């Protein structure tokens, strides 16, 4: 069952920067800009080990992200669970999606175990101006 509408998926595919919100087990929110790619309706993000995002996700896999534009005023909020991949067939498949999407990743490639890949599986959305 799709959570995102076709219009919302198209909006996400037409952008590459979102703000990712994670929260610690002490309920302290942390929001950072990250680039992303799409895998169907799932949002794919790579992050670094040693970051607050990664520490938060190890404690709490609930996330929110927002993609927005100012002119025209439009935005999409996605809430969901984040799966963390560090190795294996799914990691390699997601890594290919990121390399296909971003030239700067192709120019500086990495492999399994070098950088976690996140798959945000949407459970709820809100959009405006789409």
How far is it, in rounded angstroms, from Cα 52 to Cα 55?
Answer: 5
Would you write out the chain's pLDDT as a tens digit for each of its 130 residues?
Answer: 568 999 999 999 999 999 999 999 899 999 999 999 999 999 999 999 999 999 999 999 999 999 999 989 999 999 999 999 999 999 999 999 999 999 999 898 888 999 999 999 999 999 999 8
How far is it, in rounded angstroms, from Cα 46 to Cα 94?
Answer: 9
Q: What CATH number should be reported for the domain holding residue 112? A: 2.30.110.10
Please list, in sequence order, all residues whose beta carbon lies within 8 angstroms of the beta carbon of residue 65, skipping any fewer than 6 positions away.
18, 19, 20, 21, 36, 43, 77, 78, 120
Task: For residue 47, tell me if it sits in a domain.
Answer: yes
Task: For residue 1, tell me if it sits in a domain.
Answer: no
Give me the domain span that covers residue 44: 6-128
How far is it, in rounded angstroms, from Cα 95 to Cα 78?
Answer: 22
Strand partners, 67: 76
Domain count within the chain: 1
Task: For residue 64, tell me if it sits in a domain.
Answer: yes
């Amino acid at each position: 069952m799709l959570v995102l509408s076709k219009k919302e998926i198209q909006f996400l595919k037409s952008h590459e920067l979102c703000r990712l919100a994670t929260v610690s087990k002490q309920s302290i929110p942390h929001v950072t800009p990250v680039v992303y790619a799409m895998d169907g309706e799932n949002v794919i993000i790579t992050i670094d080990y040693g970051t607050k995002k990664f520490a938060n996700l190890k404690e709490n896999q609930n996330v929110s992200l927002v993609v927005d534009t100012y002119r025209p005023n439009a935005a999409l909020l996605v809430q969901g669970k984040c799966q963390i991949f560090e190795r294996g067939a799914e990691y390699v498949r997601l890594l290919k999606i990121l390399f296909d999407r971003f030239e700067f990743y192709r120019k500086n490639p990495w492999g399994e175990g070098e950088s976690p890949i996140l798959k945000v599986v949407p459970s709820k959305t809100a959009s405006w101006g789409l």
